[in-house]
Amino acid sequence: MLEFVLTQKNASVRKKITLKSLLAAGIVLLAVLLPLAVHAAAGEDGGVTWLPMYFPVLLGGCLLGLRWGLGIGIASPIVSFFLTSAMGDAMPAAARLPFMAAELAVFASVSGLFSRKIYHNGWMAFPAVLLAAVSGRALFLAAAIGLQAIAPWPVSAVWAQIQSGAIGLLVQAVAVPLIVIGLRAILRKES
């Protein structure tokens, strides 16, 4: 969506890259800090229930599109892992990291596929987030099934995580589109 707003404003390529880079870095930072806050407030189970890293990743996909979203989806859990490892408590856990990076890459990519449609019709953020959530969680389950021989947890545990996270995804399926619609209105008004 941001690409189309910047194009409408005749922004230079350099300005577009600078703004998108700053926004992507801010979103990755939010994807690190938000889980820390949720884990501090609600414990480890709060992270599984509310999926705080997914929120900024979905937002990033909707705002920045497929390619930038993909980068945000992959970078967020990796940056979080290395920063939180340095603090003594890795989030996500090393065994979960590759699965989460793949899952969040799908979340951000799928929501990013809708970026142009969201620019034209803000309400498209709702199907963008819903389809992203279903696709990402399906990938997580499929990866757990396909890699059962080497995956560190049984498929039943993955399914339980998916069920626990349904509450968080439901909240995000409403909150993220509403935020995107609001930002779209502000950005288009300034155009």
If one counts every other C-beta atom within 10 angstroms of the C-beta of residue 169, the result is 23
State pTM to two decimals. 0.95
Within 8 A by CB and 6+ apart from 131, the residues are 110, 111, 114
In the numeric block, which tokens belong to residue 26?
Answer: 């801010």
pLDDT, tens digit, for every residue of 72-90? 999 999 999 999 999 999 9
Domains and CATH numbers, the chain: 2-190 (1.10.1760.20)
Question: How far is residue 83 CA from its own chain's centroid?
Answer: 18
Per-residue model confidence as pLDDT tens digits over 110-161: 999 999 999 999 999 999 999 999 999 999 999 999 998 887 778 999 999 9
The pLDDT value recorded for residue 92 is 94
